[in-house]
Amino acid sequence: MITYENLHDTLSFYSIDCRQSYYISSGKPIFEFPKAPFRMDYYALCICTAGEINIEIDRQKYKVDVHSFLMAAPSTIVKFGKTSDDFTMKLLFFDKNFLIKNISNPFIIEKMNLFSKGSYSIVKTTVKNSSLLQNLLDDLEKKSKKEGKFTEEIIRTIIFHLLLETAEIMEHQNTANPAKEEGKKDLYLKFSKLIRENINRERTVQFYADQLHVSNKYLIEIIKKASGKTPHEVIDEALLKEAFVMLGNPDITISEVAFELQFNSASAFGRFFKKHTALSPSEYRMKENIQS
């Protein structure tokens, strides 16, 4: 199986030894990134402070420039591309459980509507908004360097403030998307979490409806309203995401990928993959120059 890239492993690529549950960067120039796509096991907020970068997120390509920010949740697959010579960014990474420690609602972050594209958002904002977020990151970095009895709680509080300000910016820039009813939104968040936990084993709508104690019909109605997609389409997207991650590892054969994803055969997996990408798994690997 392909494991998630945790915070420590990601930072070790840059020779940063981070033993905390969070990491804050002041915006130093970055000249090298991991060449292969990787799947994050943490939350990330990245603000471009100068220049631009080409980036691929969950197979979608973007160009991010100054005063744009990326907000990403665990399970997001990221691949960095070319940057301009003057590219700089400020960023915050924090582990899944760091922010929700002592908080009863496990979906507190998701409820802020920070992830308009499923597990991430890319937003071009104003100089004023960008400066607001950057100042909070600067304050966060200063506080993180101090050792005190309540340092961790102070860090957690500033991160909450930062996320709420980010959510507020996104709310103003996306007024066309009204907030969903709380109960129905909770169901969608639970459905999404269940898929992430079970996608390698379970892909029937009935399984997820049973786990959520609702009927198939009701689940289809709620997921369609929340995402514009059917539960089956959401499940297929998650399965395809797993396939991309596994195919990106040249040490795993296509037959092994098919087995891990519970397909009856490599040919059945190939038909599924080609249906959604117009490429066979081997053609995809050839196109991406993924060789063992």
Structure confidence by residue, pLDDT tens digits, 190-226: 898 899 889 888 999 999 999 999 999 999 998 988 8
Instruction: Please give the pLDDT value at position 115.
Output: 86
Residue 140 above 60 pLDDT? yes
CB 69 within 8 A of CB 123: yes
> What does the block give as tokens for 202?
């379970």
Instruction: Please give the pLDDT value at position 276.
Output: 92
Bridge partner residues of 65 (DSSP): 52
> What does the block give as tokens for 239?
């399965």
Instruction: Please give the pLDDT value at position 1.
Output: 35
Instruction: Please give the pLDDT value at position 227.
Output: 80
The mean pLDDT value for 168-172 works out to 87
Q: How confident is the model at residue 5 (pLDDT cuts 50, 70, 90)?
A: low
The mean pLDDT value for 121-133 works out to 93
Domains of the chain by range and CATH? 7-173 (2.60.120.280), 182-287 (1.10.10.60)
CB 65 within 8 A of CB 118: no
The mean pLDDT value for 7-17 works out to 73
Residue 126 CB partners (closer than 8 Å, separation 6+): 67
Give per-residue pLDDT as tens, 241-277. 889 888 888 888 999 999 999 999 999 999 999 999 9
> What does the block give as tokens for 229?
């997609």
Instruction: Please give the pLDDT value at position 68.
Output: 94
CB 173 within 8 A of CB 125: yes
Classify the phi-psi angles of 283: left when phi > 0, otherwise alpha if psi is within -120 to 50, otherwise beta.
alpha
CB 47 within 8 A of CB 91: yes
Q: Over the chain, what is the mean pLDDT?
A: 85
Q: How confident is the model at residue 179 (pLDDT cuts 50, 70, 90)?
A: very low
Long-range own/partner contacts, residues 244-249 (CB < 8 A, 24 or more apart) = 244/37, 244/59, 244/77, 245/2, 245/37, 245/39, 245/77, 246/2, 247/281, 247/284, 247/285, 247/290, 248/2, 248/36, 248/37, 248/288, 248/290, 249/2
- What is the per-residue DSSP string for 191-236? HHHHHHHHTTT---HHHHHHHHTS-HHHHHHHHHHHHSS-HHHHHH
Instruction: Please give the pLDDT value at position 292.
Output: 64
pTM of the model: 0.72
Give per-residue pLDDT as tens, 76-105. 888 888 999 899 999 999 987 888 776 767
Distance of alpha carbon 51 from the chain centroid: 23
